[in-house]
Structure 1
């Protein structure tokens, strides 16, 4: 059962990630926001792709600035940037902690620290 759910998740995540990774470069957003949406799509699959379409992708050419001027879309972009940076930091910290065979609390603080630094 669980392996079937994971297979379905991968089947949904790969095209979602590819869609965002290719399409985001056509959007006139800041480069850091583009990377944030790509990273978030890698972490969250179809949820990240949905958030990208909802919050960043312009519905018609030439109206991106007007489209993202709504406060909640600005908040969404900031949140995606934060979540992507924290996620990378935590993954880097977890890899280092596992490589050093750290116990729970040192590993926890290492991941927290890297998440804060990458934020």
Structure 2
């Protein structure tokens, strides 16, 4: 039963990926970093990613993308996609690498957190956002550190319970050559995206992250300094980061409770 569902999910994911990739290349005017983000996220989340793409990003009629993506929730989706694409990629790469070693679950999750955060910040955020942030890589790191960290905590808070519980119940899902591994990471990415959306909405609303964007042929990306920023108090920033860590700890706690109950 589970094998059949996983095979079906894999087929639907491949079809979703083909459609989204084609549409991004030939139809919807997204900047290249968002195109890459959507393709990666659709690869990880399958039909769910396709559904969200159709609702929030796909240009319904020619020359209407700018108007179509105006609602705040769509910008929050764009921010979430950008974050998930980097973080989940780092997490999955580490999961594949660690599958060749015998390591404890806590150690594996810790390394995946570090890997996801590092990949998301140093590659997907800073390199891809450099052109929007004065063209300076280290300045981009500094400007994206807080939003990336907050988003990462929420993504990992959602992903950890899924990854741990599924791995305990289905040990074969640790093997990256198995479709069970893909299914485990896919569900974890979906749950992580859901929890991260609310944090990204707050970040976009306060001008701390970009949202959905439109870039037509021969147009350049707008710079972050041209975007509207609100001054956010240190108290609000501290509270937001605290809540993100609370979400991370909640995910860890759920995993620990389940592991203790299962192994008791």
**TM exceeding 0.5:** yes
Quote the offset at 1:98 in angstroms.
2.4
Distance in 1, Cα, partners of 2:45 & 2:28: 20
Quote the offset at 1:111 in angstroms.
0.4
- Give the structure 2 partner of residue 83 of structure 1: 84
Post-superposition Cα deviations, 1:48-78, rounded to whole Å, max 9, x if no partner, equal 1111111111111111111112111100011
Quote the offset at 1:114 in angstroms.
1.1
2:34 matched to 1:33?
yes
Distance in 1, Cα, partners of 2:16 & 2:43: 8
Distance in 2, Cα, partners of 1:33 & 1:56: 10
Report the 3-state secondary structure (helix = DSSP H, G, I; strand = E; otherwise coil) of the residue aligned with 2:54. Answer: helix
Post-superposition Cα deviations, 1:2-30, rounded to whole Å, max 9, x if no partner, equal 12212221232111111011111221112
Q: Which moved more, 1:7-16 or 1:77-86?
A: 7-16
Q: Which moved more, 1:74-83 or 1:95-104?
A: 95-104
- Give the structure 1 partner of residue 98 of structure 2: 97
- Give the structure 2 partner of residue 20 of structure 1: 20
Q: How many residues align?
A: 119
Quote the offset at 1:100 in angstroms.
4.0
2:118 matched to 1:117?
yes
* Unmatched segments (≥5 aa) in structure 2: 121-264
- Give the structure 1 partner of residue 184 of structure 2: none
Distance in 2, Cα, partners of 1:45 & 1:100: 29
Distance in 1, Cα, partners of 2:78 & 2:112: 23
Equivalent residue runs for 1:5-84 within 5 Å: 5-25=5-25, 26-84=27-85
Larger radius of gyration: 2
* Unmatched segments (≥5 aa) in structure 1: none
Report the 3-state secondary structure (helix = DSSP H, G, I; strand = E; otherwise coil) of the residue aligned with 2:84. Answer: helix
Quote the offset at 1:107 in angstroms.
1.7
Distance in 1, Cα, partners of 2:52 & 2:112: 26
Quote the offset at 1:117 in angstroms.
1.4
Distance in 2, Cα, partners of 1:30 & 1:102: 40
Over aligned residues, Cα RMSD in angstroms? 1.4
